Every structure is written in structure tokens, then in C-alpha cells.
């Protein structure tokens, strides 16, 4: 997400470029809201930032402040009604809100809202939005306080889980970060304004200088009077270690530590922990490259590129035909036969989720003539789901759940397999272990988790009244209809507005092995590791290789029940 307050600047275009820099964090939908002091207008649609916006559209989003978002769904399905920023009419004006993260007490907050006020009769929840973002927007609108700022200070302490919020009314830009600081959020300075963004790389793109991180438990407001800050909770830092491993851009800095340097150091430590005789160290593009550089430096084995990535094949809404699918992932990755033939390879990747894409890559490298393939992973085995903003597969789909390293190696078809230790990964980040969330590796969560029926991507669909939306898909959740010719939604904030909303064209917890909250059939981890190759895998890559190898979808042994922290 990206927020900007800059009178005299083209704020929508700044938001566009900021989102472009953050596209890796979400590829499902994109949106920008802008205010000219009297009206907030938002334009949002399904697709990438470059697909949603053009110059004509951006020129209609005028004003002195803007909030933008590119979505990756963790609560609520992937459809237009759930795109962000969300809009809500409050007693004192309008709020447009963007959210990075995932609340774990959404069901409790939802039930409290219904008990207090009934299901909303207007706003995005009434029109089928089933996200925790729309819930926060509705809760802000329900607060009978003197200002949006007062309402936020009352509401923020009630939110549990991971949340970085960038929101605004007609005049002021606001930002808040959860007390654990699970996801990154930074503050930047323009010549004529301020910027908040999910990563420092977005500041670089728009020419903003980094001022500092927005602290965990901090709420900031920016308007013509400058910047003011308040604390709404005590800090209990538990930053996501997976940001250093994979999620963040390598040119981002988190809590003073370069993500690129962290990944290179993970590769060095991986080489110390899992040495092997080989001829070439090669990465899985692009996420494995920094760690592969570190592994090559430490081991003395030459670094090289054994796979070529098609830079122009990104995420697409055109499904591959059976003929194209038979080409497998060669549409996006193709082996360099002259480089890998006859070589003993060390293949570096950042993580293994289900193992499907690694299995496909190993098959491709074998076909290209590789003599040996030694897989090295710059993170420990992923054994637990994430409830803080990464839609990892269910525990049953995680290949490391119930399988040992040797069994995983056999499933992938590699000659050897080595994971970095948790100590090695944490040390590479140069962060205090006590200030990192390692839940997906350790099963120890930094906040309390509710019962299984109150977690999951579709938690609101099960609670939404059947008649709460103008249209309901057969057998599915309530969804709002997309405007016929555009995705523009405007809110007239003048007193004459009737309902305020119109459409126009223009504490640490450990969980059990019951896998709470993960939906059956989950595709998992989009935009996490493996996600952009999943739609191009062959059937044989989706099941473990080799006769008698236990299925990754049905572990050979039942996982141990997690102990209380």
C-alpha cells in the first residue's frame, strides 16, 4: 500500500508509481483513492497496476492526497467487490482505507458489529465486500467520536493480528502499524509533502527520502499542520522473518537491515551448514539469486545462471491450453543446456512450500543433461500456516509437514537437499530473535489465535446474511456488481449527500495440528514462493515423484500436537 499527502503534486501518479514498485506484494487487483478536499474518488479493478490504470484514468484522480493498494487476498475472495481501497461514509466525512496484513480477530469484531448495529445497510460490506479491510472501514464509521482520528485511536487497540493501514478523509492522511510490527511500513519525505509505503523501495521510485519506520503501535496523521504521532499500544515487536527471506524486494531496507544483504548472508551460512562437491551454483530466478551469490562466495564454487526467465511473462488471466501446458514451466523458465549439461549443480531456492515447482525444475534440469542436482534452501522447512498476511497452503499441503528432509529429497528427485537452520536464518537478518515472527517455521505465533471456525479466508462468507447484498452468486458469497463501463466509485462528501455512497461511470500462541482456518482446496501462497509457476505445472509435478514416496498432500505420519508456548 502507498499513501501520499502532497499539495501541488500529481498525487495519483505518485501513488501509481509507488504501487508499481510494490506490485510484487499483490497482483490480484489495484486501486487508488484521491481527494480534492471536497470529494474522494477511487478507481479500482482486477489486475496488475499497469492493467488497471492509464494516463486518462489517473488524470481524473485529482487532489492533494491519495491512498493506493495492490491486493493479495488473505481474507475474502478474489473478486472486484473486495478490491481496495475501501470507501465508507462516516458521521464526519468519508474514509478511504488500504490495508496490508491480516486480522486474526475479524470474526469477533464482525460479531460485535452485528450485535451492536446489525448488518450494515450501506457501505462496502452491504454491497458484498467480505474483507477485514471493509470491516475496519465499517467500524470506523460506527464510532460516534468527534473525528476520524478519535475513532481510529479507539478502534486500533481492538485489532489483533497483522495490520499496516494507510487511510484518509478529505483532508488528512493517516497511517497505523500493529503493535508487533509484523509487516513493514515506512515514512518518507517529499519536497512538498509526505509519503507512507509498505517498503522503502517505493520511496526510492517516487524520489522520497526515508525519514524512519512507522513504529509498531504507532498512529500518525499528516495534514496542512504537519505530522503528528500517537501511540495506541505498547510495542511487542515480532517482525515477519519471511520478509527477509522472500516477500520484500531485495532493494528494500527493513529495521535498518538491507534485505539483499540478509539474503546473501543466508546463502553464506547455508554453504557453511551444507557443503557439497559441485561444479556450479545456480539460483532459481529471481528469488534465489542473492542467496546463490552468497553460497558461491562462501563455497568457492562458480556462480552461474542455469535457467533463463522470460521477463515478459508475468501473471496472466489467460489460462494455458492443454498444448501450452505440456510445455510445462518452460513458458517462464527454460534451462541453458550448454551451462548445465554434465555439471554437478547446486540449485538455490528461498523456500519449499508444496514442492511442486522444485520437482518440475529438477525434471527440466535432468532433461537438460545435469549430472547431479543438489538443492539448497535459504529458509528452514515451512511446517505451519501463516495468519498474518501470507496465504500459505494448509498444513496438509505443506510438504515439510510429516516428511523428513530425506523423504522430501526423494519426492523432489534431487541428489541431496539441505535447509538452512533457523539460527542461521535469524542471524543473517541481524535482528533479535525475540523480535521476529518465525511462526511458519516454528509454530509459535506472536498473537492469540481464535478457534478454527473463526479463522480462514472465507470467515465472513459464512456469517454474511443471505439478503445483505443486491446480488448473490448461486452457492457463493454476496458480491457487488462491477460498474458497467468503469471501476470508478465516488463519494460526495458534501452535506446534501444522502447515504454517501454511489456508483458512477468515471501474546505468543502455539496452534495444534488441526490446521485452523485454512480452506479445503486452497491454492496457497500467492504471491509467495512457487505461485507464478503453479498454473503451468504438468500433472506429474503435482504429486511426489518416485514409487512409494509418501504424498505431500497426505503426510506419511501424523504431525505431533504442538505444545503450548
CB atoms within 10 A of CB 453: 11
Report which DSSP code applies to 279: S
Which residues on neighbouring strands pair with residue 510, listed in sequence order? 444
Q: Which residues carry a binding-site annotation?
A: 240, 287, 349-350, 386, 437, 440
Q: Which residues carry a binding-site annotation for [4Fe-4S] cluster?
A: 240, 386, 437, 440
Q: How far apart are CA 241 and CA 439, in angstroms?
A: 9
DSSP string, 455-476: -STTTTTTTS-TTSSS-B-TTS
- 8 A C-beta contact, residue 552 and residue 343: no
DSSP reduced 3-state for 269: helix
Q: How far apart are CA 391 and CA 527, in angstroms?
A: 8
Q: How far apart are CA 44 and CA 46, in angstroms?
A: 7
CB atoms within 10 A of CB 317: 8
What is the sign of the dihedral through the CA atoms of 456, 458, 464 and 468?
Answer: positive
Q: Are strands 416-419 and 372-377 parallel, antiparallel or unpaired?
A: parallel
DSSP string, 77-136: -SSGGG-SSEEEEETTEEEEEEEEEEESSHHHHHHHHHHHH-S-SSSTTTTT--SHHHHH
Give the phi and the psi of residue 460 in degrees, each rounded to 5: -80, -30
Q: How far apart are CA 155 and CA 151, in angstroms?
A: 6
- Provide the strand spans (E) within 366-503: 372-377, 416-419, 436-437, 444-445, 488-492, 502-503
Q: How far apart are CA 197 and CA 213, in angstroms?
A: 10
Q: Which residues carry a binding-site annotation for Mg(2+)?
A: 287, 349-350
- 8 A C-beta contact, residue 206 and residue 194: no
What angle is formed at CA 480 by the lines to CA 151 and CA 46, rounded to 5 degrees? 95
Q: Kindly compute the dihedral angle of the four CA atoms of residues 96, 100, 101, 104, in this order, to the nearest 10 degrees.
A: 0
Residue 301 vs residues 298, 318, 345, 472: alpha-carbon distances, Å = 8, 40, 10, 59
Amino acid at each position: 500500500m502507498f499513501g501520499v499527502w502532497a499539495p501541488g503534486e500529481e498525487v495519483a501518479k505518485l501513488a501509481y508509481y509507488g504501487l508499481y514498485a510494490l506490485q510484487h506484494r499483490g497482483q490480484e487487483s489495484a486501486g487508488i483513492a484521491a481527494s480534492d478536499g471536497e470529494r474522494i474518488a477511487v478507481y479500482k479493478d482486477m489486475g496488475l497496476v499497469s492493467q488497471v490504470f492509464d494516463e486518462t484514468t489517473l488524470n481524473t484522480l485529482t487532489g492533494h492526497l491519495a491512498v493506493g493498494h495492490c491486493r493479495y487476498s488473505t481474507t475474502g475472495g478474489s473478486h472486484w467487490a473486495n478490491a481496495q481501497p475501501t470507501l465508507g461514509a462516516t458521521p464526519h466525512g468519508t474514509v478511504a482505507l488500504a490495508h496490508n496484513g491480516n486480522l486474526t480477530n475479524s470474526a469477533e469484531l464482525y460479531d460485535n458489529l452485528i450485535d451492536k448495529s446489525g448488518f450494515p445497510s450501506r457501505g462496502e460490506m452491504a454491497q458484498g465486500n467480505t474483507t477485514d479491510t471493509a470491516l475496519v472501514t465499517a467500524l470506523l464509521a460506527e464510532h460516534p467520536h468527534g473525528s476520524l482520528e478519535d475513532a481510529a485511536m479507539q478502534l486500533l487497540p481492538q485489532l489483533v493480528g497483522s495490520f499496516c493501514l494507510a487511510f484518509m478523509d478529505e483532508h488528512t492522511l493517516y497511517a497505523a502499524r500493529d503493535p508487533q510490527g509484523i509487516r513493514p511500513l515506512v515514512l518518507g519525505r517529499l519536497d512538498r509533502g509526505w509519503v507512507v509505503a509498505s517498503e522503502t523501495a517505493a520511496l526510492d521510485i517516487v524520489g522520497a527520502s526515508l525519514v524512519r519506520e512507522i513504529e509498531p503501535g504507532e498512529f500518525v496523521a499528516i495534514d496542512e499542520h504537519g505530522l503528528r504521532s500517537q501511540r495506541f499500544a505498547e510495542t511487542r515487536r515480532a517482525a515477519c522473518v519471511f520478509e527477509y527471506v522472500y516477500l520484500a524486494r531485495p532493494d528494500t531496507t527493513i529495521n535498518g537491515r538491507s534485505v539483499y544483504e540478509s539474503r546473501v548472508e543466508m546463502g553464506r551460512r547455508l554453504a557453511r551448514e551444507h557443503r557439497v562437491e559441485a561444479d556450479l551454483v545456480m539460483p532459481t530466478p529471481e528469488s534465489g539469486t542473492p542467496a546463490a551469490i552468497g553460497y558461491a562466495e562462501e563455497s568457492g564454487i562458480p556462480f552461474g545462471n542455469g535457467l533463463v526467465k522470460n521477463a515478459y511473462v508475468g501473471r496472466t488471466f489467460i489460462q494455458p491450453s492443454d498444448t501450452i501446458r505440456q510445455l510445462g514451466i518452460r513458458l517462464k523458465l527454460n534451462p541453458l543446456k550448454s551451462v548445465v549439461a554434465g555439471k554437478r549443480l547446486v540449485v538455490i531456492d528461498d523456500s519449499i512450500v508444496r514442492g511442486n515447482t522444485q520437482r518440475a525444475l529438477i525434471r527440466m534440469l535432468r532433461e537438460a543433461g545435469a549430472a547431479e542436482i543438489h538443492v539448497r534452501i535459504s529458509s528452514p522447512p515451512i511446517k505451519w500456516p501463516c495468519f498474518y498476511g501470507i496465504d500459505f497452503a494448509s498444513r496438509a499441503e505443506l510438504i515439510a509437514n510429516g516428511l523428513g528432509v530425506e523423504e522430501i529429497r526423494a519426492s523432489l528427485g534431487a541428489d541431496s537437499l539441505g535447509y538452512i537452520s533457523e539460527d542461521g536464518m535469524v542471524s543473517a537478518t541481524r535482528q533479535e530473535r525475540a523480535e521476529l515472527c518465525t511462526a511458519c517455521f516454528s509454530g509459535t505465533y506472536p498473537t492469540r489465535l481464535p478457534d478454527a471456525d473463526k479463522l480462514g479466508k472465507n470467515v465472513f462468507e459464512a456469517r454474511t446474511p443471505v439478503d445483505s447484498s443486491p446480488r448473490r452468486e448461486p452457492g457463493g458469497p454476496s458480491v457487488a456488481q462491477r460498474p458497467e463501463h468503469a471501476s470508478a466509485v465516488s463519494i460526495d462528501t458534501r452535506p446534501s449527500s444522502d447515504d454517501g455512497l454511489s456508483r458512477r461511470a468515471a501474546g505468543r500462541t502455539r496452534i495444534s495440528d488441526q490446521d485452523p482456518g485454512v480452506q479445503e482446496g486452497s491454492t496457497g501462497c500467492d504471491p509467495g514462493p512457487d505461485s507464478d509457476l503453479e498454473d503451468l505445472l504438468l500433472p506429474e509435478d503435482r504429486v511426489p515423484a518416485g514409487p512409494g514416496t509418501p504424498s505431500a498432500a497426505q503426510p506419511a505420519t501424523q504431525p505431533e500436537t504442538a505444545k503450548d508456548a
